[in-house]
């Protein structure tokens, strides 16, 4: 089979190889990959800034994939040849509270990912692909959709009347807008682009702020909420921007620390944390049971993933390059 392999850190070291097609062991599925979608972590991993000490040379990257079962290993009972399946990211986190050891079992690094014609996944490491979604669409779900869902449904039960703040219009944030809106929340969105903010409104955003033309976007959020702030902040920016996320949290509000687009460390005003009684919650995507709940919810609410661009398999480098420039929603690579 053909597989993109990371021979060393740096996009220039992501090379297309011809290697033997793997065979499924007991409990495993061989999946003919239809599509993968890129997340910022896939780029950070190639760049060598995402748990580099755990990444082996020759890794097949990319966490999120969707495809068709081509063969099953001994003892597999949940899926059969021909079933459409979508990967689950934390392969050993099926339900219950997070255990630190789960971090070692991420699909797409440290474990081989989906940027290849075939992929091996455990039968407990996939969900059935939603019937009303194409494989291209379903490949966007495992990280970008499950992460905001986990915040909005597992760490909080967001309900009509709640206010949610979403930063930017990348993969996680577009799903956050769609999901929070479907849950009945007021959704405030920031972006660097007025044009993207118009599109965010079409997807359910109720209030929008351009963080380029309004650098003190936090003040604008407080003004929009009569000084109260918001119930949930989905912080994908990280770095010192986290201070502003705490600033806009309502009393007892949840600040979900999701991303590190602006940096992996921060200084916080602890008095703000104390006076807001803010709940600062680290987020690591979510577990399989929540993913199954999400798939049901997406079907009930007919939420369609927003795909910015689909690249052919051979043009993986161009897909990574676009991710670095920023996309509206998801970038997908069609494999088979
Ligand atoms: N912890 C987890 O479980 C988890 C899961 C998924 C993702 N993440 C992390 O979350 C972050 C976002 O991931 P992603 O895949 O959605 O990335 P992405 O698709 O590359 O999104 C990038 C977008 O973020 C927005 N942005 C960049 N800087 C910003 C700023 N200073 N203020 C507001 N928005 C800003 C931009 O939107 P505009 O163009 O609209 O300005 C940009 O297009 C990454 O750091 C990723 O590693 C973490």
CATH number at residue 79: 3.90.180.10
Q: Does residue 300 lie within any of the structural domains? A: no
Number of structural domains (the chain) is: 2
Q: Is the CB of 326 under 6 A from ligand 1?
A: yes
Burial class for 11, CB neighbours closer than 10 Å (0-12, 13-18, 19+): middle
Q: Is the CB of 89 under 6 A from ligand 1?
A: no
Domain match, 135 and 155 both: no
Which of 244, 261, 282 terminates a domain? The answer is 282
To test ligand 1's pocket by mutation, which of 90, 93, 166, 168 has the most ligand atoms within 8 angstroms of CB?
168
Q: Is the CB of 208 under 6 A from ligand 1?
A: no
Per-residue pLDDT tens digits for 116-144: 999 999 999 999 999 999 999 999 999 99
Which amino acid residue places its CA nearest to atom 7 of ligand 1? 259
Burial class for 2, CB neighbours closer than 10 Å (0-12, 13-18, 19+): middle
CATH number, residue 251: 3.40.50.720
Q: Does residue 299 lie within any of the structural domains? A: no
Domain match, 104 and 39 both: yes
Domain match, 111 and 159 both: no
Which amino acid residue places its CA nearest to atom 9 of ligand 1? 259
The Cα–Cα gap between 176 and 169 comes to 9
- Helix 316-325 vs helix 40-47: angle between axes, to the nearest 10 degrees? 110
Q: Does residue 46 lie within any of the structural domains? A: yes
To test ligand 1's pocket by mutation, which of 172, 218, 322 has the most ligand atoms within 8 angstroms of CB?
172
Measured in angstroms, how far is the CA atom of residue 76 from the centroid of ligand 1? 37
Q: Is the CB of 85 under 6 A from ligand 1?
A: no
Question: pLDDT tens digits for the chain (336 residues)?
Answer: 999 999 999 999 999 999 999 999 999 999 999 999 999 999 999 999 999 999 999 999 999 999 999 999 999 999 999 999 999 999 999 999 999 999 999 999 999 999 999 999 999 999 999 999 999 999 999 999 999 999 999 999 999 999 999 999 999 999 999 999 999 999 999 999 999 999 999 999 999 999 999 999 999 999 999 999 999 999 999 999 999 999 999 999 999 999 999 999 999 999 999 999 999 999 999 999 999 999 999 999 989 999 999 999 999 999 999 999 989 999 999 999
Q: Is the CB of 262 under 6 A from ligand 1?
A: yes
Q: How far apart, in Å, are the Cα atoms of 209 and each of 169, 214, 220, 329?
A: 12, 7, 7, 18
Q: How many residues does the chain have?
A: 336
Domain match, 125 and 170 both: no
Quote the domain boundaries for residue 75.
2-141+329-334
Q: How far apart, in Å, are the Cα atoms of 18 and each of 2, 47, 118?
A: 5, 23, 12
The Cα–Cα gap between 258 and 324 comes to 18
Measured in angstroms, how far is the CA atom of residue 48 from the centroid of ligand 1? 18
Q: For ligand 1, what atom is nearest to the CA of residue 327?
A: 43
Q: For ligand 1, what atom is nearest to the CA of residue 192?
A: 41
Domain match, 164 and 270 both: yes
CA 211-214-220 angle, 5° bins: 95
Q: For ligand 1, what atom is nearest to the CA of residue 41?
A: 47
Measured in angstroms, how far is the CA atom of residue 235 from the centroid of ligand 1? 9
Domain match, 134 and 25 both: yes
Q: Does residue 120 lie within any of the structural domains? A: yes
Domain match, 93 and 156 both: no
Return the exposure string of 260-286: e unless at least 16 CB atoms fall within 10 Å of the residue's CB, then b.
Answer: bbeeeebeeeeeebeebebebeebbbb
């Amino acid at each position: 089979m053909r597989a993109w392999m990371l021979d060393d850190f740096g996009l220039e070291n992501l090379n297309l190889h011809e290697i033997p097609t793997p065979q499924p062991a007991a409990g495993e599925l061989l999946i003919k990959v239809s599509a993968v979608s890129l997340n910022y972590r896939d780029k950070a991993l190639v760049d060598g800034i995402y748990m580099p000490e755990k990444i082996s040379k020759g890794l097949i990257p990319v966490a999120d994939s969707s495809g068709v079962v081509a063969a099953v290993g001994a003892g597999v009972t949940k899926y059969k040849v021909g079933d459409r399946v979508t990967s689950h990211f934390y392969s050993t986190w099926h339900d219950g509270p997070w255990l630190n050891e789960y971090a070692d079992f991420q699909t797409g690094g440290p474990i081989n990912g989906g940027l290849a014609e075939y992929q091996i996944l455990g039968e407990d490491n996939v969900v059935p692909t939603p019937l009303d979604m194409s494989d291209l669409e379903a490949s966007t779900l495992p990280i970008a959709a499950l992460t905001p869902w986990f915040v909005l449904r597992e760490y909080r039960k967001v309900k009509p009347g709640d206010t949610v703040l979403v930063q930017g219009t990348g993969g996680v944030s577009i799903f956050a807008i769609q999901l929070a809106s479907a849950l009945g929340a007021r959704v405030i969105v920031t972006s660097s682009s007025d044009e993207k903010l118009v599109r965010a409104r079409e997807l359910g955003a109720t209030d929008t702020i351009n963080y380029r033309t309004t650098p003190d976007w936090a003040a604008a959020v407080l003004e929009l909420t009569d000084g109260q702030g918001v119930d949930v902040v989905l912080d994908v920016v990280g770095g010192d921007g986290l201070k502003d996320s705490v600033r806009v949290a309502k009393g007892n509000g949840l600040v979900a620390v999701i991303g590190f687009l602006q940096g992996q460390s921060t200084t916080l005003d602890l008095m703000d944390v104390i006076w807001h009684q803010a709940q600062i919650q680290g987020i690591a995507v979510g577990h399989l049971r929540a993913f199954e709940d999400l798939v049901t919810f997406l079907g009930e609410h007919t939420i369609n993933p927003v795909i910015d661009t689909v690249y052919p398999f051979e043009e993986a480098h161009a897909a990574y390059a676009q991710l670095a420039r920023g996309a509206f929603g998801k970038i997908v690579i069609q494999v088979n």
